[in-house]
Amino acid sequence: MGRVYNFSAGPSMLPEAVLEKAAKQMMDYEGSGMSVMEMSHRSADYEAIIGGAEALLRELMQIPDNYKVMFLQGGASSQFAMIPLNLMRTGKADYVITGQWSKKAAQEAEKYGTVNRVASSADKTFSYIPKLDPSTFDKEADYFHITFNNTIYGTRYTSLPDTGNVPIVADISSNILSQPIDVSKFGMLYAGAQKNMGPAGVTVVIIREDLLGFTKEGTPTMFNYQIHVDNGSMYNTPPTYGIYICKLVLEWLKELGGIEKMHEINLKKAKILYDYLDESKMFRGTVVKEDRSLMNVPFVTDSDELNAKFIKEAKAAGFVNLKGHRTVGGMRASIYNAMPVEGVEKLVAFMKEFEKNN
Ligand SMILES: *Cc1c(COP(=O)(O)O)cnc(C)c1O
């Protein structure tokens, strides 16, 4: 069997060119006589890999000099604890609840301080981004947390809340590198790599320098941002191979034309799918139009039986991982950076055919 169109929400597709390059370099990385997996993280070869990955990320995302970049482990979920442990000074933070990930982030933060849930879209199964009223924000909060793109429910912010001097902390696990993001508008950004940047096991944290140095006493060493910053993400062994793959993905993205170009392609892909969902008499999107994600597209038919039939037949035709999240049901197509336009076009053609026949 050849390669399939993989619509998984994460871990997800990687660009074929990246996998091919990794395969070519598997046995002997650039004349080193070994795989990147076998390298000391303190070697010159590896220093160039992690340094190169950071430089590319800085260049592509235009990360200002007063921000630090860390490559950590533990997934975005570890950040749910690291954020309050490192950023809570007075012990208060604002959270917007737009799905499971923000819910979990808020629950974790509550172990360390007071969480003010400024708004939630739980009333309608997180199918929209709540309108935010700045008068409900805590002006003394240490930070304001949002989940920029909601992987499970398929919503995303199209504008940022005006939080004044309170730094915005955003989970960008599922939209990093997919659209231009003005880093200077945030105190901190973080992302697990396995959606849009590389394999599982790498977590990227981008943090404004002035937010460092306030870590709670008793915080485990490995959960202290300052430690990782001071050691260039090498306090302990970093996820060496994962970071190498991230570097290849970043090189691929740069060659393709960078984030602006990627965004254009992503808009095109999303439009192909949403336009069809809007005209179809069988399938429909589950999210309010103005908050639709470019990355995760949940959709349903009116029948669970038909949903199951569709998922099964799609899989047989080479469109895999279209089953919706277990809490939502129906279908979800994740169309991250690595999904080619052609994959979405072919999926829509398949859906049209399915609609005609059922
Ligand atoms: C996948 C995901 C997470 C969880 O990431 P882990 O790396 O599994 O901890 C958190 N937030 C968002 C937005 C995600 O998409």
Domain membership of residue 297 (yes or no) is yes
- Asked whether residue 1 is assigned to any structural domain, the reply reads no
Q: Is the pLDDT of residue 9 over 90?
A: yes
Asked whether 271 and 297 are in contact (CB, 8 A), the reply is no
Q: Domain tally for the chain? A: 2
Check if 242 has its Cβ closer than 6 Å to any atom of ligand 1. Answer: no
Q: What pLDDT is recorded for position 279?
A: 98
In the reported structure, the alpha carbon of residue 5 is separated from the centroid of ligand 1 by a whole-number distance in angstroms of: 22
Whole-angstrom distance, CA of residue 118 vs CA of residue 143: 12
Do residues 290 and 339 both lie within one domain? yes
Boundary residue ending a domain (226, 255, 284): 255
Look up residue 193 and give its DSSP letter: T
Could you identify the residue written with the tokens 């990227």?
204
Distance 192 CA to ligand 1 centre (A): 6
Tell me which residue range forms the domain holding 321: 257-357
Confidence of residue 2 (pLDDT cuts 50, 70, 90): confident
129 and 229 housed in the same domain: yes
What are the backbone angles phi and psi of residue 208, rounded to the nearest 5°? -70, 135
134 and 280 in a single domain? The answer is: no
Ligand 1 and 75: CB distance under 6 A = yes
Domain membership flag for residue 11: no
Q: Is 143 left (phi over 0), alpha (psi -120 to 50) or beta?
A: beta
In the predicted structure, residue 266 carries a pLDDT above the cut 90: yes
Mean pLDDT across the stretch 117-140?
97
Contact 155 CB / ligand 1 (< 6 Å): no
**Which residue out of 73, 102, 151, 189 has the highest number of ligand 1 atoms within 8 Å of its CB and is therefore the one to mutate?**
151
For residues 281 and 352, is the Cβ–Cβ distance under 8 A? no
197 CB under 6 A from ligand 1? no
CA of 194, closest atom in ligand 1 = 7
- Residue 252 appears among annotated catalytic residues: no
Q: Is 173 in the pocket of ligand 1 (CB under 6 A)?
A: yes
> Do 293 and 229 share a structural domain?
no
Query: Looking up tokens 């390669």, which residue turns up?
Result: 3
Q: Using omega within 30 degrees of 0 as the cis cutoff, is the peptide bond preceding 11 cis?
A: yes
- Site to substitute for ligand 1 among 80, 169, 173, 189, most atoms within 8 A of C-beta: 173
| Ligand 1 within 6 A of CB of 163 | no
pLDDT for position 1:
61
**Domain assignment present for 32:** yes
CATH number reported for the structural domain that contains residue 350 in this entry: 3.90.1150.10
> Which amino acid does the sequence have at 256?
L
Mark which of 194, 222, 255 sits at the end of a domain: 255
The two tokens of residue 37 are: 């997996």
CA distances from 319 to 48, 49, 74, 285, 351 (A): 37, 34, 30, 18, 11
**Does the pLDDT at position 39 exceed 90?**
yes
| Structure letter (DSSP) for residue 93 | E
Is 142 designated active site? no
pLDDT of amino acid 326: 85
CB 247 within 8 A of CB 318: no
My answer on whether 307 and 224 are in the same domain is no
Q: Is the domain of 286 the same as that of 251?
A: no
Residue-wise pLDDT for 190-245, tens only, equals: 999 999 999 999 999 999 999 999 999 999 999 999 999 999 999 999 999 999 99
Residues 288, 239, single domain; the answer is no
Q: Which of 83, 89, 202 has its CA nearest to residue 146?
A: 83
Task: Tell me, using a 6 A CB cutoff, whether residue 175 lines ligand 1.
Answer: no
Q: Which residue is catalytic, options 68, 101, 291, 323?
A: 101
Task: Say if residue 182 is in the same domain as residue 169.
Answer: yes
| Residue 133 forms part of a structural domain | yes
Same domain, 196 and 304: no
171 a catalytic residue = yes
pLDDT at 151: 98
Residue 102, ligand 1, Cβ within 6 A: no
Give a yes or no: residue 281 inside a domain.
Answer: yes
Domain co-membership, 220 together with 347: no
Do 217 and 334 share a domain, yes or no? no
Instruction: Please give the distance, rounded to the nearest whole angstrom, from the Cα atom of residue 352 to the centre of ligand 1.
Output: 32
Q: From atom 14 of ligand 1, which residue's Cα is the shortest distance away?
A: 173
Per-residue pLDDT band for 327 (boundaries 50, 70, 90) equals confident
Q: Look at residue 246 and tell me if it is in a domain.
A: yes
- Asked whether residue 34 falls in the same domain as residue 141, the answer is yes
